[in-house]
Amino acid sequence: TFGAVDTAGYGALVAVIGLSMRGTRTGEVGFWTARQYRGRGLMTEAVRAVAGWAFTEIPVDRVIWRAEVGNTASRATALRVGF
């Protein structure tokens, strides 16, 4: 799990992303972005980086994503990344 902090401001938490293993060769990515930092492409870039790392360094056969019904922001990020 990784977090990002706004060092230019008051040290506010910007985002969190993690990869949990769901079986021996499947990783599940989960993420959250603070409302005021959404819409900047930060999480799209982070999800791509974590998925790429998982495929090359762990390695996993697949990375999955799940979200609560109605979480359109999470869905949009996942679609931009290719889930």
The pTM assigned to this predicted structure is 0.91
pLDDT at 67 > cutoff 90:
yes
How many angstroms separate the CA atoms of 54 and 37, rounded?
Answer: 25
Q: Are 59 and 27 in contact (CB under 8 A)?
A: no
What is the CATH class of 2-81? alpha beta
Identify the pLDDT of residue 75.
96
Q: What is the mean pLDDT of residues 49-75?
A: 96
Phi-psi sector, 11: left (phi>0), alpha (psi -120 to 50), beta: left
Which pLDDT band, with edges at 50, 70 and 90, does 9 fall under?
confident
